[in-house]
């Protein structure tokens, strides 16, 4: 979640480690310029540094998505989709209730795919359908271009905006965070 802020105390609770250990880790991430920290009152507020090298952010994102998919009961479907799309450029985002940690037993799985060229949309859509048509899991997905995703970041009630505010990057993290960085610079943050 590129724009979410956390206090060190919130981070320590979230990752279930001591404050001291979390503080040390945060200092290391600041040194690597992956996060920014701002003092507000008695709290130190941390935020992802979107100007950081997208490859560095992508590594952290990859670790997070792997841990998430190892626990998710639909991880195998994501792997099947990735296998079906092998050799293609795309970004895959999980958003909605699953990304927010609020998914119930009957929650659908919301996926957003961004491809480089509009000519790739239909073929990508067909490849995804060939995987999800054989499952009983409820999966909602859309395929758009990366250019359209960048535009959607600005649209208040769009899928792209929802994904920007809360998503798990399942594939193409370096490209995704490059887009977020472009958006961030355009907006002047």
Q: What's the pLDDT tens digit per position in 85-115? A: 988 899 999 999 999 989 988 899 999 999 9
Tally Cβ neighbours within 10 Å of residue 99: 20
One domain, residues 42 and 123: no
One domain, residues 30 and 62: no
One domain, residues 58 and 77: yes
pTM assigned to the model? 0.87
One domain, residues 78 and 132: yes
Domain that holds residue 62: 54-187
One domain, residues 42 and 58: no
One domain, residues 40 and 95: no
Model confidence at 189, pLDDT cuts 50, 70, 90, reads low
- In this structure, are residues 184 and 50 in contact, taking their beta carbons and an 8 Å threshold? yes
One domain, residues 21 and 77: no
- How many distinct structural domains can be found in the chain? 2
Cα 189 to Cα 112: distance, rounded to the nearest angstrom = 25
One domain, residues 33 and 99: no
Token pair in block for residue 38: 């701002």
One domain, residues 146 and 73: yes
One domain, residues 30 and 96: no
Query: Which residue in this structure is represented by tokens 């809360």?
Result: 166
One domain, residues 140 and 182: yes
The helix, strand and coil proportions of the chain, stated in percent and rounded to the nearest 5, come to 50, 20, 30
Going by C-beta distance under 8 Å and a sequence separation of 6 or more, which residues neighbour residue 36?
30, 46, 47, 48, 49
Cα atoms in the 13 Å half-sphere on the side-chain side of 169:
25
Output the DSSP codes for 133-148: TT--S-EEEEEEEHHH
Q: What's the pLDDT tens digit per position in 11-32? A: 999 888 999 999 999 999 999 9
One domain, residues 99 and 173: yes
């Amino acid at each position: 979640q590129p724009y979410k802020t956390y206090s060190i105390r919130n981070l320590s609770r979230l990752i279930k480690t001591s404050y001291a250990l979390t503080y040390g880790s945060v200092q290391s991430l600041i040194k690597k310029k992956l996060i920014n920290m701002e003092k507000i009152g008695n709290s130190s507020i941390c935020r992802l540094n979107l100007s950081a090298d997208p490859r560095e952010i992508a590594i952290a994102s990859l670790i997070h998505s792997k841990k998430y998919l190892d626990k998710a009961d639909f991880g195998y479907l994501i792997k099947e989709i990735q296998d079906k799309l092998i050799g293609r450029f795309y970004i895959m985002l999980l958003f909605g209730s699953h990304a927010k940690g609020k998914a119930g037993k009957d929650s659908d799985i919301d996926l957003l795919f961004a491809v480089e060229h509009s000519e790739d949309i239909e073929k990508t859509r067909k490849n995804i359908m060939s995987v999800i048509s054989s499952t009983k899991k409820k999966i909602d997905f859309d395929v758009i271009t990366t250019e359209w995703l960048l535009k959607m970041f600005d649209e208040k009630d769009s899928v792209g905006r929802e994904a920007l505010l809360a998503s798990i990057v399942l594939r193409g993290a370096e490209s995704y965070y490059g887009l977020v960085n472009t958006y961030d610079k355009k907006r002047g943050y």
